[in-house]
Amino acid sequence: MNQAERNHAQRLATYAQNSETFRALNALMWQIPLIGMTLTGGLWFGVSKAESTPFFQLSLLALTAAGDVGLAIILLRLRYIMGQYLEWLKAFDKAGFVDAPGAGFWTKPLRVRQVFQIVLGLAVIVSLALMVSPAQQLHILPEWFSQGSVGFYDRQARDLADSYEALSFETAHPELVRRLQGVRAIRVLDVGAGTGRDAAWIATAGHQVTAVEPSDGMLRLAKEIHPKDVVQWTKDSLPALSHLNAGSQYDLIVLSAVWMHVHPSERSAALTRLAQLLAPGGTIYMTLRMGPVEADRQMWPSTIEQLQVLAPPLGLKVQDLGGRDDLLGRPGVGWRYVLLSAGL
Where do the domains of the chain lie?
Answer: 3-137, 148-342
Give the model's pLDDT for residue 150: 56
250 SS3 class: strand
Give the model's pLDDT for residue 144: 39
Q: Kindly state the percentage of the chain with pLDDT values over 70.
A: 89
Query: Please, which pLDDT band fits residue 207 given cuts at 50, 70 and 90?
Result: very high
Mean pLDDT of the chain: 86
- pLDDT greater than 80 at residue 136: no
Give the model's pLDDT for residue 158: 55
Distance CA 193, CA 200 (A): 10
Query: Please, which pLDDT band fits residue 163 given cuts at 50, 70 and 90?
Result: low
Of 27, 60, 34, 25, give the one whose Cα is nearest residue 119.
Answer: 34
Across residues 64-74, what is the average pLDDT?
Answer: 94
Determine whether 159 is exposed, middle or buried from the number of CB atoms within 10 Å of its CB (0-12, 13-18, 19+): exposed
For 32-86, what is the HEC assignment? HHHHHHHHHHHHHHHHHCCCCCHHHHHHHHHHHHHHHHHHHHHHHHHHHHHHHHH
Of 32, 33, 19, give the one whose Cα is nearest residue 82.
Answer: 19
Of 262, 60, 68, give the one whose Cα is nearest residue 148.
Answer: 262
Distance CA 259, CA 271 (A): 10
Give the model's pLDDT for residue 146: 43
Higher local confidence (pLDDT), 112 or 84:
84
278 SS3 class: strand
β-pairing verdict for 187-191 and 316-325: unpaired
Cis previous bond, 109, omega within 30: no
Higher local confidence (pLDDT), 152 or 6:
6
130 SS3 class: helix
What value does the CA radius of gyration of the chain take, rounded to a whole number of Å? 32
The CATH class of the 148-342 domain is alpha beta
